[in-house]
Amino acid sequence: MALGGVLQNWPVWGIGLAAVVPWLPVFVAEAAWIYRRHAWLALFYMLIVTQVGHLLEHVAQMTQIHLLHHSGAQAQGIFGALDIEWVHFIWNTWVLLAVILLLRRFPENRWLWATALLAGWHEMEHLVVFSTYLLTGRAGTPGLLGQGGFIAGGLPIRRADLHFLYNLIETIPLVGSFVWQFTKTMRSLQGSRT
């Protein structure tokens, strides 16, 4: 479907949607299958798939900015209509809440603890950006550590680059936590069968 969109010169978001939609039934079926066998791993699975997808959106934006030299509305990733403050805030809140729920079930997972710390900082960053947006109506403010940010003027890095890095360093331990937990669960199941 995505190839058809490319050949028909669809907008980037249409091509992205055409690539994602056919996979939704597979995603739902896999999540349901995992839930029937290992309920909490289903939440883990849904979090991993959605966060990796979100990271890929940031990768697309970085490609637009640094390789295609786009800016502004041309550099909003694949689904640019969703590149707005409240969507970012709600997204990161979902990630943080899901991680907290998973920590209640899997408190021994050190990778998950690292993810919680990183997601918590990322949430604070979005809280500052979102509250600034609500108070001033200005979108795209630097937050805490973006260039010109509240903490010592921020780092010498633009907000888009910073949030790409946030999502990358948040996703790496999240994937590690899932692999660790999945492996532990499978070993536990094998041990109970013998």
- What percent of the chain has pLDDT above 70? 95
- What percent of the chain has pLDDT above 90? 64
pTM for the full predicted model: 0.85
Dump the DSSP string for 131-181: HHHHHH---S--TTTSTTBTTTB--SS-HHHHHHHHHHHHHHHHHHHHHHH
Query: Stretch 40-64: mean pLDDT, rounded?
Result: 93
What is the per-residue pLDDT for 193? 67
Residue 129: exposure state from Cβ atoms within 10 A (0-12, 13-18, ≥19): buried
What is the per-residue pLDDT for 1? 64
Q: How far apart are CA 39 and CA 35, in angstroms?
A: 4
Indicate whether 151 pLDDT > 90: yes
Indicate whether 164 pLDDT > 60: yes
What is the per-residue pLDDT for 194? 57
What is the per-residue pLDDT for 27? 86
Q: How far apart are CA 123 and CA 140, in angstroms?
A: 15
Query: Stretch 3-18: mean pLDDT, rounded?
Result: 72
Closest CA to 145 of 171, 166, 175, 168: 166
- Lowest-pLDDT range, 16-20, 57-61, 66-70, 120-124? 16-20
Phi-psi region at 155: left, alpha or beta (left = phi > 0; alpha = psi -120 to 50): beta
What is the per-residue pLDDT for 39? 87
Q: How far apart are CA 145 and CA 154, in angstroms?
A: 4
Task: For the chain, give the mean pLDDT.
Answer: 89
Higher pLDDT, 41 or 188: 41
- Lowest-pLDDT range, 7-16, 49-58, 86-95? 7-16
Domain parsing of the chain, residue ranges: 1-37, 39-193
